Structures are given as structure tokens and as C-alpha cells.
């Protein structure tokens, strides 16, 4: 039996982009079907992430145009990671493999052929990895590189230059469903599931239309979330740092005492201020990092749902019948 593939595509305010990229996805799906790699029951599934423009209306229209298009919508905007998760969890019982991809045409759709081949040869997870980032600005490339480096130093297993373009089998998704955290960083979580995995390489293109929803602020938030949801090393580093500061202060106290006896106590104003400023700065940073973890614990213990699906094109079609 040929595997059923669901291509899962998160969309947030993409009314300019969807009408252009929809054919890319459908043509690729049909190509794979005609090459007899996947079953005809395969689908292109759009996940509307509570868009404020007409994205959901466009998706509903597409679902009427071609049965290979389906869509679900979240009750409100919850962010890219949660939208992908909603799509994957919705798809996992209906298909054998999923491929998640952004809807803006930046990730090369042709890499899907190789992804499916890798799956047919036994891989359960296939990571799409950007081989070149020429189309990104120098700033985005530099920050992204720094980000992956920091993640690896912190002990999180993340495939370098892999974003959220990946093939995952439903077998892996069934295990993944047991990862209950609310703070999502999918590219760091999938390696934790295990199973046989490989990477395929592709070149990243320009966004076809519209604008990136990841300005610097959101990128930093994702980076911070990535590090603190996957690693407790920053907390350990605080402890080590605390010891170093304590040691330096101790030496300083000894020096001050010696100075007192030698008779040069009036000098030292500058160094006193310097030490006070330094130590309070360190303390504030440490408190910030601790606060970040406590905030995460707070979010996790609430066990709030990570996505809420309010409508499905499949149900709407049923109603029309």
C-alpha cells in the first residue's frame, strides 16, 4: 500500500501569498501521486492560525475547488509553532507521513521528492536543511548562526540550519503526542523522539509576497524559548558565575583589609562603586534567568491546550451535503 501524505502548512495573514503558492503544493502532491510514491488520498492541509485577513476564506474556497485541499482554523492566533502542532496532531491519525512547510514559498518544494524517497527507504524523520542562505540578510544569517551555536553549547540537539520544513511519520507523531509541553520548540523536540532520521539539503528562496512575521523581537523570543525549554544549563551557569563573583569579592575583601593596615583607606571609592555596580548587574541577570524558568514552569503547570481548532473544511462540506 502506498503511504498517505499530508502536507501541513501554517498560514497567518497570507492572503497575498496563498493564491500564488497553492498551486506549488497541489502540483507537487499530484506529481508524487502520479509517480506512485504516495496514495491518492494524500492531502494539502492548510492551518489558518487565526488570520485577521481573508486567509481562511481563501482556504475554504480552495477546499471546494479540489478535494486534495483541506483546511482547519485555530480559534485565534497562537503562533507558528502551535499552528504546525495543530496541523500535525490533526493529520496523524489520517495519514502515514506529514511534511510541514511554510506557505510563503521560501522552502524549496522539490526537496519533498527526496524526503519521500528517504521515508520509503526507512527514515521516520527527514529534516530539510538550508544549504545556502543567500536570500536572507547578513543580519538574519549571522543571528541564526549564533543561535544554533548557542543552542548546541547549551546541550540542545538541533540540526544546524533546519527550520520547520520536515517529514515526520505518523509513528513518530504518535510518540510525539506524549510530549506535553506548552512551550514549543519543535525543531529541538523532534530529535528527542529518536527513530531513524536523515537530512536533505535545499536552497532557501525569497518570500514570494507579503512580509516576514518574524521581526527581530519575535526571533529573539523564539531563540530564548528554544534555549530555556530545552536546557537547564543557563541555571547551572548562574551558579558557577556566582562562585566566581564570590571568589573575586573574597580576594577584594582581603586586599581592602591589607590596605587598611597599610594606611591607604581613603582611596578605593571608584573600586567600591565598580564592585557594587558589577555585583548588582550580575544579580539582576541571574534573577532574570531564574524568572524565565519560573515563568515556564508556571505556563506548564496550567496545562492549557496548545491549540484549539474551531472549524474544519471537511465538516463544512459535510454540512453542505
The H helix count followed by the E strand count for the chain is: 11, 8
Q: Pick the piece of the chain touching ligand UDP (CB under 6 A) from 35-43, 153-161, 207-215, 225-233.
A: 207-215
**Three-class DSSP labels, 90-116:** HHCCCCCEEEECCCCCCCCCCHHHHHH
* Single residue of 5, 6, 8, 14 touching ligand UDP by CB under 6 A: 14
Nearest approach in angstroms of CB 46 to Mg ion is: 15
Q: Closest CB to ligand UDP among 55 and 123?
A: 55
Q: Find the shortest distance in angstroms from Cβ 96 to ligand UDP.
A: 24
- Where does this chain touch ligand UDP (CB under 6 A) — which range of 4-12, 230-238, 292-300, 313-321? 4-12
Q: Kindly state the smallest distance separating residue 1's Cβ from ligand UDP, in Å.
A: 31
Cβ proximity to ligand UDP: between 213 and 317 the closer is: 213
Considering CB under 6 A, how many residues would be counted as binding ligand UDP?
16
CA 19 to chain centre: 25
**Rule CB under 5 A: which residues touch Mg ion?**
102, 104, 106
Q: Are 303 and 67 in contact (CB under 8 A)?
A: no
Asked if 68 and 30 count as a contact pair (C-beta separation under 8 A), the reply is: yes
Q: Rounded CA gap, 65 and 58, in Å?
A: 11
In the region spanning residues 87 to 106, those forming contacts with ligand UDP, defined by CB under 6 A, are: 102-104, 106
Here the cell at position 88 is 500535525
Cell of 117: 524517497
Could you tell me which residues come within 8 angstroms of residue 134 by beta carbon, excluding any fewer than 6 positions away? 203
Q: Minimum distance from CB of 103 to ligand UDP (Å)? A: 4
62's contact among Mg ion, ligand UDP, none, with CB below 5 to 8 A by partner kind, is none
| Best CA proximity match to 72, nearest among 110, 81, 318, 63 | 63
Give, as ranges, the residues between 65 and 84 that touch ligand UDP (CB under 6 A): 77, 79-80, 83
Residues that bind ligand UDP (CB under 6 A): 10-12, 14, 49, 77, 79-80, 83, 102-104, 106, 212-214
Amino acid at each position: 500500500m502506498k503511504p498517505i501524505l499530508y502536507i501541513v502548512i501554517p498560514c497567518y495573514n497570507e492572503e497575498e501569498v496563498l493564491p500564488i503558492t497553492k498551486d506549488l503544493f497541489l502540483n507537487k502532491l499530484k506529481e508524487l501521486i502520479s509517480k506512485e510514491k504516495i496514495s491518492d488520498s494524500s492531502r494539502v492541509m492548510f492551518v489558518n492560525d487565526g488570520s485577521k485577513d481573508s486567509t481562511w476564506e481563501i482556504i475554504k474556497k480552495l477546499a471546494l475547488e479540489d478535494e486534495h485541499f483541506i483546511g482547519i482554523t485555530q480559534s485565534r492566533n497562537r503562533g507558528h509553532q502551535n499552528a504546525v502542532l495543530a496541523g500535525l496532531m490533526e493529520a496523524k491519525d489520517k495519514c502515514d507521513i506529514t511534511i510541514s512547510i511554510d506557505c510563503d514559498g521560501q522552502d524549496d518544494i522539490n526537496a519533498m521528492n527526496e524526503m519521500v524517497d528517504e521515508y520509503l527507504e526507512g527514515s521516520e524523520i527527514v529534516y530539510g536543511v538550508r544549504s545556502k542562505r543567500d536570500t536572507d540578510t547578513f543580519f538574519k544569517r549571522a543571528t541564526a548562526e549564533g543561535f544554533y551555536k548557542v543552542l548546541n553549547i547549551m546541550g540542545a540537539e538541533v540540526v544546524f540550519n533546519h527550520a520547520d520544513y520536515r517529514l515526520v511519520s505518523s509513528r513518530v507523531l504518535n510518540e510525539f503526542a506524549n510530549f506535553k509541553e506548552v512551550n514549543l520548540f519543535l525543531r529541538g523536540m523532534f530529535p528527542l523522539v529518536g527513530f531513524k532520521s536523515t537530512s536533505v539539503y535545499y536552497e532557501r528562496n525569497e518570500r514570494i509576497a507579503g512580509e516576514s512575521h518574524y521581526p527581530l523581537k519575535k526571533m529573539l523570543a523564539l531563540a530564548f524559548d528554544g534555549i530555556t525549554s530545552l536546557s537547564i544549563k543557563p541555571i547551572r551557569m548562574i551558579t558557577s558565575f556566582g562562585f566566581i563573583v564570590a571568589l573575586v569579592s573574597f580576594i577584594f575583601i582581603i586586599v581592602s583589609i591589607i590596605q587598611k593596615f597599610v594606611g591607604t583607606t581613603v582611596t578605593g571609592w571608584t573600586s567600591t562603586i565598580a564592585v557594587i555596580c558589577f555585583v548588582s548587574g550580575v544579580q539582576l541577570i541571574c534573577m532574570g534567568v531564574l524568572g524565565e524558568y519560573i515563568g515556564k514552569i508556571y505556563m506548564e503547570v496550567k496545562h492549557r491546550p496548545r491549540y484549539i481548532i474551531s472549524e474544519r473544511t471537511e465538516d463544512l462540506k459535510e454540512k453542505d451535503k
